[in-house]
Amino acid sequence: MSRFAEPMARLIEELKKLPGIGGKSAQRLAFHILRSSDDDAEALASAVRDLKAQLRLCSICNNITDVDPCSYCTNPTRNHRLVCVVEEPTNIAAIEKTKHFNGVYHVLHGTISPLHGVGPEHLRISNLTRRVDAGEVDEVILATNPTIEGEATASYLADALKKLRVKVTRIATGVPAGSDIEYTDEVTMHKAIEGRREL
Amino acid sequence: MALKESEAIVLRTYPMREADLLVTLFTRLDGKVRGVARSAKKSRRRFGGALEPLTLVRAVYEDRERQELTRLDSCEVMDSPLTRQMTYPRLVALGHVAELLDEVLPDREANDALFRLTVSVLGALRGPEIWMPLTYFELWLTRLTGFLPDLSACVECGLDLEGEPAFYHALADGLMCVDHKRLASSRLSVDSRRWAVQMFRAPVAALSAEPWPKSVGEDLRKFLMQIVQRHLEKKLTTQPMLAKLD
Ligand SMILES: [Zn+2]
Ligand SMILES: [Zn+2]
Q: B166 and B114 in one domain?
A: yes
DSSP B237: S
Q: B74 and B103 in one domain?
A: no
* Stretch B98-113: mean pLDDT: 96
Share of chain B above pLDDT 70, in %: 98
Q: Which residues pair with B186 in a beta bridge?
A: B168
Q: Where in chain A is the domain with CATH 3.40.1360.10?
A: 77-181+187-192
Nearest Cβ partner for B88 among A120, A186, A188: A120
Centre of ligand 1 to C-alpha B170, Å, is: 50
Give per-residue pLDDT as tens, B203-242.
Answer: 999 987 778 999 999 999 999 999 999 999 999 999 999 9
Homologous superfamily assigned to A6-54: RecR Domain 1 (1.10.8.420)
The model's pTM:
0.88
DSSP B209: T
Nearest Cβ partner for B87 among A20, A147, A155: A155
**Fold (CATH) for A77-181+187-192:** Dna Topoisomerase Vi A Subunit; Chain: A, domain 2 (3.40.1360)
Q: Say how many CB pairs under 8 Å bridge A and B.
A: 81
How distant is the Cα of B135 from the closest Cα of chain A, in angstroms? Answer: 18
Rg (CA), chain B: 20
Mutant choice from A187, A188, A189 vs B, greatest count of B C-beta within 10 A? A187
pLDDT for residue B233: 94
* Cα of A22 vs its chain's centroid, Å: 25
Q: B146 and B46 in one domain?
A: no
* Cα of A32 vs its chain's centroid, Å: 31
Nearest Cβ partner for B83 among A19, A120, A190: A190
- Among residues B82, B113, B144, the one where a domain terminates is B82
Q: Where in chain A is the domain with CATH 1.10.8.420?
A: 6-54
- Among residues B49, B82, B115, the one where a domain terminates is B82
- Among residues B82, B110, B143, the one where a domain terminates is B82
Q: Give A-chain residues touching B45 at CB under 8 angstroms.
A: 183
Q: B214 and B195 in one domain?
A: yes
Q: B223 and B120 in one domain?
A: yes
DSSP A16: H
For B56, nearest residue in chain A (alpha carbons): A187
Kindly provide the residue ranges of all beta strands, DSSP E only, lying in A21-137, ordered along the sequence: 56-57, 64-65, 79-86, 103-107
Q: Give A-chain residues touching B77 at CB under 8 angstroms.
A: 185-187
- Which domain covers residue B180, as residue numbers? 88-244
Burial state string for A92-118 with b = 16 or more CB within 10 A and e = fewer than 16: beebeeeeebebbbbbbebbbbbbeeb
Instruction: Tell me the one-letter amino acid at A65.
Output: T
Mutant choice from A16, A111, A122, A151 vs B, greatest count of B C-beta within 10 A? A151
pLDDT for residue B43: 65
| Cβ-based neighbour number of residue A86 at 10 Å | 24
Instruction: Tell me the one-letter amino acid at A176.
Output: P
- CATH number, domain of B127, equals 1.20.1440.120
Give per-residue pLDDT as tens, B12-57.
Answer: 998 887 778 899 999 999 999 999 988 877 666 678 788 999 999 9
Q: B144 and B28 in one domain?
A: no
What are residue B168's phi and psi, to 5 degrees?
-135, 160
Q: Please count the structural domains in chain B.
A: 2
- ipTM, interface predicted TM-score of the complex: 0.90
Give per-residue pLDDT as tens, A85-131.
Answer: 999 999 999 999 999 999 999 999 999 999 999 999 999 999 999 99
Q: B98 and B62 in one domain?
A: no
pLDDT for residue A181: 85
Sign of the torsion angle spanned by Cα atoms A82, A123, B246, A171: positive
Q: B110 and B53 in one domain?
A: no
**Which ligand minimizes its atom distance to the CA of B160?**
2
Nearest Cβ partner for A115 among B77, B88, B95: B95
